């Protein structure tokens, strides 16, 4: 694994997201409170698009059925809720982020 440049710092402003594609991976880069995170863009439940998810308190919520994941480590905080049923879902893949010379790199 090595670091790959994914964006310039000014391309992803505070509280914005950017999707990048590397090989067969869809990776979401998130600037949350001026800290950068890189996570798999697809929810581990039914591949909901997390680029449309809301980020609050370091947690991203899937727009489809509400699964919540910790941005720092991808841990599943709570699984999907469908009707009145609640399920579990797997943790999300995350990638190490490095900032160097105003550029964002992720380890992949
Ligand atoms: S697809 Fe994300 S919670 Fe169902």
- Nearest-10 Cα torsion for 31, 35, 36, 37: -100
Partner residues linked to 5 by β-bridges: 105
Q: Tell me, what CATH number does 65's domain have?
A: 2.102.10.10
Q: Give the binding-site residues of ligand 1, using a 6 Å CB cut-off.
A: 43, 45-46, 48, 62, 64-67, 80
Q: Which residues contact 66 (CB under 8 A, 6 or more apart)?
A: 78, 80, 81
The rounded distance, in Å, linking the Cα atoms of 29 and 23 is: 16
State how many domains the chain has.
1
Q: Which domain holds residue 10?
A: 3-107
pLDDT tens, position by position, 47-68: 999 999 999 999 999 999 999 9
pLDDT in tens, 77-92: 999 999 889 999 999 9
Q: Which atom of ligand 1 is nearest to the CA of 50?
A: 2
Helix (H, G, I), strand (E, B) or coil at 53: coil
Residue 42 Cα to ligand 1 midpoint, Å, equals 9
Two tokens, residue 21: 């594609």
Reported as a pLDDT band with limits 50, 70 and 90, residue 34 is very high
């Amino acid at each position: 694994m090595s670091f790959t440049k994914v964006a310039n710092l000014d391309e992803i402003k505070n509280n914005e997201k950017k999707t990048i594609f590397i090989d067969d991976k869809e990776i979401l880069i998130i600037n949350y409170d001026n800290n950068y995170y890189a996570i798999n863009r697809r929810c581990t439940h039914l591949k909901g698009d997390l680029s449309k998810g809301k980020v609050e308190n370091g947690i991203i919520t899937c727009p489809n059925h509400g699964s919540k994941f910790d941005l720092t480590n991808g841990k599943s905080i709570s699984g999907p809720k469908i009707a009145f049923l609640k399920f579990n879902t797997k943790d999300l893949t995350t990638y190490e982020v490095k900032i160097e010379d105003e550029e964002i790199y992720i380890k992949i």
